[in-house]
Structure 1
């Protein structure tokens, strides 16, 4: 199965509906979803000399921001929606 890659025009189109002052983050690793700060955009060529644009995280220690919010992982279909278990009544000191 061939993978289709997002183009710069498609990315710009998707971002055009967002507030331009909003920070951009990368959601990475669907098996252990984490959020990362975006630091650079680099234009280059790939191994077959086709142009490509890379979005890169920074090198600072705080570039990885932590776990991806669960609602984002669910929206990306990286995790299934999870509901909290029902609460049980608390036991009293006399064991009932």
Structure 2
């Protein structure tokens, strides 16, 4: 199965429906989802000589913002939606 990569045009199309005033963040590591601030966009060439654009996080200590919100992790299919367990009937001190 061939893997298709997102292109700059795909990214622009997806971002064009977003509010232009909101910050852009990067979600990383599906097994321990974290959010990061983006700081740079760099065009380079990959190991095969093809042009590639990299979105990079910053170097500041506060670049990693913490855990990815569960809503985002679920939307990315990195986590299953979860619900609180059903409530059980509580017994009293006398066992009733």
Judge same fold: TM > 0.5, yes or no. yes
1:88 deviates by 4.5
Superposition misfits of 4+ residues, deviation over 2 angstroms: 86-92
The CA deviation string for residues 3-48 of structure 1, in whole angstroms up to 9 with x for no partner, is: 1110000000000001111100001000000000000000000111
Q: CA separation in 2, counterparts of 1:43 and 1:24?
A: 18
Residue 86 of structure 2 aligns with which residue? 86
Q: Give unmatched runs, 5+ long, in structure 2.
A: none
* Number of residue pairs matched by the alignment: 94
- Alpha-carbon RMSD across the aligned residues, in angstroms, is 1.4
- Structure 1 partner of 2:10: 10
The aligned counterpart of 1:63 is 63
TM-score (norm 2): 0.90
Residues in 2 aligned to 1:73 and 1:17: alpha-carbon distance in whole angstroms: 20
Match of 1:72 in 2: 72
